[in-house]
Every structure is written in C-alpha cells, then in structure tokens.
C-alpha cells in the first residue's frame, strides 16, 4: 500500500491540517568491493539504524549494487524520484544527503523569486473585463 496524501474535502489551511512527509521510501545501494562505497558502507553499518528508527514513516531498503558507485534514491508521494550519488563521501556527509532527501518535497527544483508563496485566491478576486465600472474613453 503506497502512502498517499489525505484527499482534501475542504482546504486545510493556515496550519489546520496534518503534516505528511513527502518522502515515502529511501533506497540505499552500496558495493562491497569498490573503495568509493567505503563511507556509504560505514554509514549503513553505524548510522543507518539511528536514522531509520528516527524516521519510521520512511521505508528503507538496503541492497548491493555491485561494481557501481553508491547511491541513495528517494521516492516521493508525487511519484517522482530523486537520486544522489554518494561516492567517496564520509559517513557524516552521507547522513547529510539522506536528510536532504528525506526533507525534499519531490518536486523539480525551481528558483524561488518571491518571498511569499500562497495557494489562496486573491482577496480582490480574478480580474474580469465584463465586470467593474468600465472606462469612458
């Protein structure tokens, strides 16, 4: 059963609504032989248990990926995936990447130019040419 967001009957807004972590699954791929997986293997061995128990809502799967660089792959509720190659990273750096994937929304990265983002409709409403006073030329 795939985790899904609660369907909105009414728009839960202004903090009235449950927070749902967008990341639903993290795959940790490592290699037993290659040196670039050294930090990743150490992370899985020593740090992943704590990380997994701190994030019980994320499914964690660990599998080898022989003769390839180590990768963390995040799966999100919106159906997208995000993969980060963690070759030659230290265990702490790998932990940072795992936290980054955990906190990501799964959306494509886009530049945020405006300081405020809202899904609310404007108080003034949508402008229409047929309404309003009109202009006498």
Place of tokens 């993290």: 26
Spatial distance between the Cα atoms of 14 and 19, rounded to a whole number of angstroms: 12
Altogether, the residues listed in the chain come to a count of: 137
Pick the binder of other proteins from 23, 34, 48, 94 (CB under 8 A): 48
Residue 56 sits in the site that holds other proteins (CB under 8 A): yes
Report the alpha-carbon distance of residue 88 to residue 97 in Å, rounded.
13
Q: According to the binding rule CB under 8 A, does residue 57 interact with other proteins?
A: yes
Q: Which is nearer to other proteins, 28 or 82 (CB)?
A: 28
Question: Is 64 a residue that touches other proteins (CB under 8 A)?
Answer: yes
**Which residue from 10, 53, 111, 118 is in contact with other proteins, where contact means CB under 8 A?**
53
Buried b (16+ CB within 10 A) or exposed e, 85-112: bbbebebeebbebbeebbebebeeeeee
- Asked whether position 65 contacts other proteins by CB under 8 A, the answer is yes
Using CB under 8 A as the binding rule, whether residue 66 contacts other proteins is answered as: yes
Cα distance between residue 39 and residue 86, in whole Å: 8
Q: Which of 49, 78, 83, 100 binds other proteins (CB under 8 A)?
A: 49
Please give the residue ranges that form the binding site for other proteins (CB under 8 A): 27, 30, 32, 41, 44-45, 48-49, 52-53, 55-66
């Amino acid at each position: 059963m795939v985790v899904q967001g609660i369907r909105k009957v009414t728009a839960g807004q202004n903090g009235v609504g449950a927070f749902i972590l967008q990341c639903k699954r993290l795959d940790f791929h490592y290699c037993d032989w290659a040196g670039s997986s050294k930090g990743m293997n150490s992370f899985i061995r020593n740090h992943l248990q704590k990380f997994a128990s701190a994030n019980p809502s994320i499914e964690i799967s660990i599998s080898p990926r022989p003769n390839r660089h180590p990768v963390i792959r995040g799966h999100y509720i919106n159906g997208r995936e995000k993969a980060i190659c963690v070759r030659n990273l230290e265990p702490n750096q790998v932990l940072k990447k795992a936290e980054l994937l955990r906190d990501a929304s799964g959306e494509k990265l886009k530049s945020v130019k405006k300081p405020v983002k809202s899904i609310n409709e404007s108080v003034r409403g949508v402008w229409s040419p047929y309404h309003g006073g009109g202009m006498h030329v």
